[in-house]
Amino acid sequence: MSWIDIAAVADIPLRGARVVKTKLGCVAVFRTDEAEVYAVSDTCPHKGGPLSDGLVHDRKVTCPLHNWVFSLETGEAQGADEGRIETFAARVENGRVLLDGTALGRRTAA
Amino acid sequence: MKKLVVIGAGMASGRALEHLFETDPEAYEVTLFNAEARGNYNRIMLSPVLSGEKSYAEIVTHDEAWYRANKVTCRFGEHVVKIDRDRKVVVGEAGEVLYDKLIIATGSAPFIIPVEGRELPGVITYRDLDDTEAMIAAAGQPGANAVVIGGGLLGLEAAAGLRLRGMNVTVLHLMGHLMERQLDESAGYLLLKDLERRGIKVMTGASTKAILGKDKVDAVVLEDGTVLDADLVVMAVGIRPETRLATDAHLEVGRGVVVDAQMQTSDPDIHAVGECVEFDGALFGLVAPLYDQAKVLAKSLLGEVDAYAPKELSTKLKVTGCDLFSAGDFAEGPEREDIVLRDPSRGIYKRLVIEGDRLVGAVLYGDTADGSWYFGLIRDGTDIDDMRETLIFGPGFQGGASADPLSAVAALPPEAEICGCNGVCKGKITEAITGGAKDLTAVRATTKASASCGTCTGLVEQVLQVTLGGDFQMPGAQPICACCDLTHEDLRRLIKLKALKSQPAVWQELGWKTPNGCHVCRPALNFYLLADWPLEYQDDPMSRFVNERNHANIQKDGTFSVVPRMWGGLTNPNELRAIADAAEKYKVPTVKVTGGQRIDLLGVRKEDLPAIWTDLNSAGLVSGHAYSKGLRTVKTCVGTDHCRFGTQDSTGLGVKLEQILWGSWTPHKVKLGVSGCPRNCAESTCKDVGIICVDSGYQVSVAGAAGMELKETERLADVASEAEAIDLTVAFVQLYRENAKYLDRPYKWVAKVGLDWVKARVVDDLDERAALIERFEVSQSIYRKDPWAVPAREAGERSRYAPLADLTLEAAE
Tens-digit pLDDT profile for residues B525-576: 999 999 999 998 989 999 999 999 999 999 988 899 999 999 999 999 999 9
Contact A18 B800 (CB under 8 A): yes
CB–CB of B424/B459 below 8 Å? no
Residue B2 predicted with pLDDT over 80: yes
Are both B61 and B125 inside the same structural domain? Answer: no
Quote the pLDDT of residue B474.
65
CB pairs < 8 Å spanning A and B: 106
Residue B338 sits in a domain whose CATH number is 3.30.390.30
Check the CA dihedral B531-B537-B543-B549 and report its sign. positive
Among residues B54, B59, B44, the alpha carbon closest in space to that of B157 is found at B44
Quote the pLDDT of residue B344.
60
Are both B134 and B269 inside the same structural domain? Answer: no
Contact B800 A21 (CB under 8 A): no
Residue B124 predicted with pLDDT over 60: yes
Cα(B369)–Cα(B789) distance, integer angstroms: 50
Q: What is the DSSP letter of B265?
A: -
Contact A48 B446 (CB under 8 A): no
Q: Which residue of B has its CA nearest to A25?
A: B808
Burial of B244 (0-12, 13-18, 19+ CB in 10 A): middle
Contact A20 B545 (CB under 8 A): no
Phi, psi of B683, rounded to the nearest 5 degrees: 55, 45
CB–CB of A19/B803 below 8 Å? yes
Max mean pLDDT among B195-199, B492-496, B656-660 falls in B656-660
B314 belongs to a structural domain: no
DSSP string, B422-437: TTEEHHHHHHHHHTT-
Contact B807 A104 (CB under 8 A): yes
- The Cα of B782 is separated from the nearest Cα of chain A by a number of Å equal to 22
- The Cα of B796 is separated from the nearest Cα of chain A by a number of Å equal to 9
Residue B415 sits in a domain whose CATH number is 1.10.10.1100
Tell me the pLDDT tens digit for each residue of B701-733.
Answer: 999 999 888 999 999 999 999 999 999 999 999
Helices B650-661 and B722-739: crossing angle, nearest 10°?
A: 30
Cα(B621)–Cα(B167) distance, integer angstroms: 50
Tell me the pLDDT tens digit for each residue of B90-108.
Answer: 999 999 999 999 999 999 9
Nearest to B550 among A29, A53, A66 (CB): A53
Among residues B582, B549, B546, the alpha carbon closest in space to that of B563 is found at B582
Of B500, B517, B544, the residue that ends a domain is B544
Are both B340 and B276 inside the same structural domain? Answer: no
- The Cα of A69 is separated from the nearest Cα of chain B by a number of Å equal to 9
| Arithmetic mean of pLDDT, B693-706 | 95
List the domain range (segments joined by +) for residue B421: 405-471
Q: Which residue of B has its CA nearest to A13?
A: B542
Tell me the pLDDT tens digit for each residue of B781-808.
Answer: 999 999 999 876 777 778 889 999 888 8
Nearest to A79 among B445, B452, B807 (CB): B445
Q: If you count DSSP H runs as helices and E runs as strands, how many of each does chain A have, helices first?
A: 1, 10
Residue B812 predicted with pLDDT over 60: no
B59: number of Cβ within 10 Å:
17
Quote the pLDDT of residue B318.
60
B500 belongs to a structural domain: yes
Cα(B628)–Cα(B551) distance, integer angstroms: 8
Tell me the pLDDT tens digit for each residue of B612-639.
Answer: 999 999 999 999 999 999 999 999 999 8
Which residues are B171's β-sheet partners?
B148, B202
CB–CB of B360/B328 below 8 Å? yes
Are both B165 and B211 inside the same structural domain? Answer: yes
Tell me the pLDDT tens digit for each residue of A60-93.
Answer: 999 999 999 999 999 999 988 889 999 999 999 8
Check the CA dihedral B408-B410-B415-B418 and report its sign. positive
Are both B656 and B772 inside the same structural domain? Answer: yes
Pairing type for strands B201-204 and B168-173 reads parallel
- A48 touches B: beta carbon within 8 Å: yes
Cα(B557)–Cα(A53) distance, integer angstroms: 13
Cα(B324)–Cα(B318) distance, integer angstroms: 9
A chain contacts of residue B558, beta-carbon cutoff 8 Å: 48-50, 53
Residue B655 predicted with pLDDT over 50: yes
Q: What is the DSSP letter of B314?
A: E
- The Cα of B449 is separated from the nearest Cα of chain A by a number of Å equal to 10
A chain contacts of residue B557, beta-carbon cutoff 8 Å: 48
B306 belongs to a structural domain: no
Phi, psi of B305, rounded to the nearest 5 degrees: -100, 125
Which residues are B3's β-sheet partners?
B29
**Residue B88: strand, helix, or coil:** coil
- A49 touches B: beta carbon within 8 Å: yes
CB–CB of B102/B4 below 8 Å? yes
- ipTM, two decimals, is 0.90
CB–CB of B62/B15 below 8 Å? no
Residue B522, C-beta contacts closer than 8 angstroms, at least 6 positions apart:
A55, A57, B503, B516, B543
Q: What is the count of structural domains for chain B?
A: 7
Per this entry, what is the length of chain A? 110
Are both B617 and B635 inside the same structural domain? Answer: no
Check the CA dihedral B626-B632-B637-B640 and report its sign. negative
CB–CB of B713/B702 below 8 Å? yes
Contact A58 B806 (CB under 8 A): no
Are both B754 and B614 inside the same structural domain? Answer: no
Are both B429 and B509 inside the same structural domain? Answer: no
B180 belongs to a structural domain: yes
Quote the pLDDT of residue B398.
37
Domain A3-109, CATH? 2.102.10.10
Share of chain B above pLDDT 70, in %: 94
Amino acid letter for position B470: G
Q: What is the DSSP letter of A84?
A: B
Name the band, by pLDDT with cuts 50, 70 and 90, for residue B452. low
Contact B803 A80 (CB under 8 A): no
Residue B296, C-beta contacts closer than 8 angstroms, at least 6 positions apart:
B261, B262, B263, B306, B307, B308
| Arithmetic mean of pLDDT, B674-698 | 95
Q: Which residue of B has its CA nearest to A66?
A: B452
Residue B357, C-beta contacts closer than 8 angstroms, at least 6 positions apart:
B383, B384, B385
The 3-class secondary structure across B4-71, one letter per residue, is EEEECCCHHHHHHHHHHHHHCCCCEEEEEEECCCCCCECHHHHHHHHHCCCCHHHHECCCHHHHHHCC
Which of B516, B804, B806, B809 is best to mutate for the A interface (most A CBs within 10 A)?
B804
Residue B574 sits in a domain whose CATH number is 3.90.480.10
Q: Which residue of A has its CA nearest to B559?
A: A50
Contact B516 A109 (CB under 8 A): no
Contact B542 A50 (CB under 8 A): no
Pairing type for strands B80-84 and B89-92 reads antiparallel
Contact B541 A13 (CB under 8 A): yes
Are both B278 and B200 inside the same structural domain? Answer: no
Are both B521 and B567 inside the same structural domain? Answer: no
Cα(B114)–Cα(B98) distance, integer angstroms: 38
Which of B428, B519, B554, B607 is best to mutate for the A interface (most A CBs within 10 A)?
B519
Nearest to A18 among B549, B804, B813 (CB): B804
Among residues B275, B300, B298, B276, the alpha carbon closest in space to that of B287 is found at B275
- The Cα of A77 is separated from the nearest Cα of chain B by a number of Å equal to 12
Are both B698 and B752 inside the same structural domain? Answer: yes
Among residues B375, B801, B334, the alpha carbon closest in space to that of B607 is found at B801
Contact B448 A81 (CB under 8 A): yes
Which region, left, alpha or beta, applies to residue B392 given φ > 0 means left and ψ of -120 to 50 means alpha? Answer: alpha
B chain contacts of residue A54, beta-carbon cutoff 8 Å: 519, 546
- A26 touches B: beta carbon within 8 Å: yes
Residue A74, C-beta contacts closer than 8 angstroms, at least 6 positions apart:
A84, A87
B420: number of Cβ within 10 Å:
12
CB–CB of B324/B341 below 8 Å? no
Are both B597 and B673 inside the same structural domain? Answer: no
Name the band, by pLDDT with cuts 50, 70 and 90, for residue B515. confident
Quote the pLDDT of residue B142.
83
- A92 touches B: beta carbon within 8 Å: no
Q: What angle do CA B422, B427, B428 make, to 5 degrees?
A: 45
